[in-house]
Structures are given as C-alpha cells and as structure tokens.
Chain A
Amino acid sequence: MTAMGVEVSKLRRKRLWLTVLLVLGFELLWIVAILTVSLSRETTAPHTMGYAIGQASQVHAIVAPILATVVVSRLAAMEHDGAMLPVLFAANQSRGSLFLTKYAVAATISTTATVIVVAAVALVAGGQGVPADPGLMIAWLLGLVLANLGIVAIQLLLALLFQRQAVTLTVGIVGGLVGSFAGFVPPTIAAFIPWQYPGLVTPVRMEQTGGTITGFPLVDHLGVLIALVGVVGAACTAAGTAVFAHRVSR
C-alpha cells in the first residue's frame, strides 16, 4: 500500500488525467458518432445491444492499446526523466514492487476508462431505443478489463526498459492498428497477439451477406476466450515482473 501511495504522490502536477481525458474523449466522441449514425439508419440487421457492441468495439479495439500505452509511457518517463530508478532501487524499493505498482496504477486507469466506454455504449444505445442486455454488457466489460492486463504488462515492460519512449509508443500505436483487424483474424491467431484481445473478447461478430451487414450473432465459446485472455494477461504480468526484477546491468 505504501508503494501505491508513493506512486500516486508522484503523479502530482503531472496532469495524467488530461492525457487520459483527451484519448478517452476522442474515443467516446467517435463511438457516439458511429452509434448515433448507425442506429438511426434502417438496416437489415436488428438493432440490438449486440449490434451496438459490434459497432463500438471496432473503435475500442484501436484506442484501448493506445490509451494503455500512453498511460504506462507517462508513468515510466517520469522515472527516466528524473533518473530516479537507481535512487528508488538504492533506497530499497524492489524492482518487482516498482513494476507491480505502476502496473496497478495503469490497469486501474485502463479499467476505469473501459467501464466508462461500456457505460457510454449502453447509454447511447439505450437512448436510441435499443433494448438493454445486461448479461451481454457484463460479458463484454469483463472481457475488455482482462484484455487490458496483457497489453498494460507488455507496454509497461517496454516503457521501463527503454529510456526513449518512442519505442513504447510506436509498439502501442502499431498494436492499436493491429487490434483494429481483430474481427478479420481467426481467434486461434488473435490469441497469440495481445493487442487484438479487445477485439477478440467482443461477444458478437459481424455477419455480412453481399457486403451488407445482416447481424451481430454471439460468438461461440466466449467464456473460453475471456478465460484465455485473462490467463495470458496474468502470465504477461508475471513474466513482465520477473524480467524487470532480474534486469541488472553487467
């Protein structure tokens, strides 16, 4: 708890909230615009909550890795800019503790942003007359929260290992673009690419016939996909902690 309190204290005057607000605000505007336009049109696909999730998840699959990357990058840059890592380690803060603390902060921010996005989709879709489907929304939210874990762990490890944040940011942005193709990649392949997890755990898949969207049916084995994403996220966190903890120069 001390380490967590210290990490939060370090954020004073950093205006991290502004960065999050900008990225999240951009995502929300995009989602609201997409939902407003698509739900106001007459389509062959029924306007269900699955339809709204299918539309919104395309945006979230791009933005979620970018938001996670920007947050961890800011958290790590703070240490690199002030050359504080040797001071913290020499003051007896373990490398593992530092990684896990920053991870906890970044995961909390990403989770909060995810809750806001899911709530916004539910509200906008509900406002357009789409019937509520709490079970589906909870499944999507759970999947997205777990999907963030692996991305945050990998991006945080990069951000702490590389002083130049351009490396981390580039990987995160490319990850976001890769994530946008999640709907077109078979789950067996997407399972190996953590940046595609926000798309992988979307509970519906777009169905088309002759270039026309005909519906968003539920995906098979959603529970297995969510569990897989959770397990990989936990594994990435453990691996990231171990790699950073044993990183001592020679």
Chain B
Amino acid sequence: MKMLLGLVAPTSGRVQMLGEPFSQRSAKRVLPRVGSLIESPSFYGHLTGRENLDIVRRIKGAPTTAVDAALETVRLTQAAKKLAKEYSLGMKQRLGIAMALLGSPELLILDEPTNGLDPAGIHEIRELIKSLPRTHGLTVIVSSHLLSEIEQMADTIGIINQGRMLYQGSLSGLEDAGRLVLTLEDAEQAAAMLRAQGWQIEQVQGREVTLPVYEDKHIPQLVSSMVNAGVGIYRVEIRRRSLEETFLELTERAQTVQVAA
C-alpha cells in the first residue's frame, strides 16, 4: 500500500498507478488522483475535524466547499468543531476517510480501515466504504486481515502471501459450487437408499450425507424420496468454503510449492 503512494520504495520491481509508471516525477500527476488512509488514523489532535480537513484540502488544492462535502459524506458534520483528539476511534477513522476523499480522487486506498474498531464501528465503516463507489464514482482498494470483512465489501480481491500475489480476480471466482449436505436421523441407511435410487453420494460422515449440488428442481424429489422412506430429515443445505478456508488453502499450497522448490 505504501509503495503505491511512494511512501516506501520497492526493493525490486516497478509500480504502475492509474496506467502510469509510478516515480518521484510522475507522483506529482498521479497522487492528486488518489486518496489514501494508511495504517492508524492520522490527524492533528489539537485541531478540530474541520481544521484538519482544511489543512489537507489546501495541500491538495481542493475548493473550500470540499470540506463540507467530505464531512457530510462521513457523517461528521455535527462533530466538525470538536477537537480531533476528542473523537472516538470510529470518528477518527471517518475523519481519515474524509481527508482521503478531498480532491475528488478516482482511486481510494484504505489500509486496514476497520482495525481496532468495535463491531458497531466496523459495520459503520464497512457501510461507508461500500457506499463510496456508488456515491462518488471511485474505485476503492481495501487491505485487511479480516477476511470476513473483505467478503462483505469487495467485488474483486487479491490474495498476497509473503509478497507474492496468489490470486487476483472476482470474489465469485474463488467461490466453489459447494456441496449439498443432508443432516439425517440415520445417514448410513439413507445413503444406501439414495445410492440405490441413483443419487451420487460423495461422503457419509456421522449424521451427514454429502452430495454434489443438484439443480433446485431435483431437491423436492430428493427430499420426498427420503420422507417416503421414513428417514428423519433435520437439515438440507448447500455448504460453500468461506473466503478464509480458500485463503488458507491457497497460502498452504503456495508454501508447499515453495518448500518443494
């Protein structure tokens, strides 16, 4: 994230931002098109929220009206005259996002924006971030270790492990078709019966029978055949791996490949 903003120099390789190779020279052109919130919320504690925003606005060369608009977007208008050091962590984070929004950037880079927030704060920031592409027409890049958060926010994701990009693409590209899991009173007996009827059984474990995902139109037939056979059905569900499970699988696989190499 810092490399994308020229705050840290890459040890090797090149950075391209908004279609331009990033260098000290091109930074003058690229940075005004980018807003960012890196690490912990940054602010001058002795200044009010509005004064903080005005300082960043003047550096970015944005119009005076941009401050009110940014305050409105992050819902800090009421607290604009309060000293930033008196803000709650969530408010400080929102102030940081407001600073990033000044100058109408095309791209917003947010590094761990929900770090250290309570569940209500996380929800608040998540909803704010999700609304920005729609309300401001910008692209948001969010880095986070909280994969469940990313799952709820992102359309396109990248998984980086030890400096290497393991996956980049749509979130749906990582989602597997899932498995149809039946939780039954007598799984063994039901599995034998279903096999005899031609259903494909992948696994029987405890009370659970796992099948591939059948089309919706087949499910009533599956359920009624078990009901007719007197099998007690507790649950019928499709289970998919979470992003966390996919992430762990990808990173473990990458480590195994590295060790083997």
Q: In the complex, what's the smallest C-beta–C-beta distance from B134 to chain A, in angstroms?
A: 24
A-B contact pairs, 15 of them (CB 8 A): A2-B59, A3-B59, A9-B51, A9-B54, A9-B55, A10-B47, A12-B47, A13-B46, A84-B44, A86-B7, A89-B6, A91-B59, A93-B59, A248-B7, A250-B11
CB distance from A22 to the nearest CB of B (A): 19
Chain A residues with Cβ under 8 A from B130's Cβ? none
Scoring A13, A14, A84, A91 by chain B CB atoms within 10 A of each residue's CB, the highest score goes to A91
- Complex: A12 Cα to B48 Cα, angstroms: 10
From B9, B32, B40, B59, A83 is in contact (CB under 8 Å) with B40
Partner of B31, one of A78, A91, A250: A91
A binding-site residues for B, Cβ under 8 Å: 2-3, 5-6, 9-10, 12-14, 78, 81-84, 86-93, 248-250
Interface check B36, CB cutoff 8 A: yes
CB atoms of A90 and B44 under 8 A apart: no
Q: Which of B28, B39, B44, B45 contacts A86 (CB 8 A)?
A: B39
Report chain B residues within 8 Å CB of A3: 59
| CB–CB B9/A248 < 8 A | yes
* Interchain CB contact under 8 A, A249 and B40: no
B43 within 8 A of A: yes
Closest to A83 in B: B42
Instruction: Give the CA-CA distance A76 to B34 in the complex, in Å.
Output: 26
Q: Is the CB of A90 within 8 A of B5?
A: yes
CB distance from B85 to the nearest CB of A (A): 9
Residues in B whose Cβ lies below 8 Å from that of A13 = 46-47
Instruction: Determine whether B89 belongs to the interface, using a CB cutoff of 8 Å to chain A.
Output: no
A-B residue pairs, 10 tightest by C-beta: A92-B31, A83-B42, A90-B5, A87-B42, A13-B46, A90-B36, A91-B59, A248-B9, A82-B44, A93-B59
B38 at interface, CB cutoff 8 A: yes
State how many angstroms separate the Cβ of B221 from the closest Cβ of chain A.
59
- Interchain CB contact under 8 A, A249 and B7: yes
Quick check: is B56 within 8 A (CB to CB) of the other chain? yes
| Residues in chain A near residue B99, CB distance under 8 A | 87, 91
Closest chain A residue to B28, Cβ basis: A92
Selected contact of A82 from candidates B32, B39, B45, B54, CB within 8 Å: B45
Q: Which of the residues B8, B32, B39, B103 comes within 8 Å of A250, measured between beta carbons?
A: B8
A contact residues around B2 at 8 Å (CB): 86, 249
A229–chain B nearest beta-carbon distance, Å? 33
Please give, as numbers and ranges, the residues of chain A lying within 8 Å of B39 by CB-CB distance.
Answer: 83, 86
Determine the residue in chain B with the shortest Cβ distance to A15. B46
Taking a contact as CB atoms under 8 Å apart, the answer to whether A249 and B8 are in contact is yes
Please, which residue of chain B has its CB at the minimum distance from the CB of A14? B46
Chain B residues whose CB sits within 8 angstroms of the CB of A9 once the complex forms: 51, 54-55, 58
A37 vs B39: C-alpha distance when bound (angstroms): 58
Of all chain A residues, the one with the shortest Cβ separation from B85 is: A82
B207 within 8 A of A: no
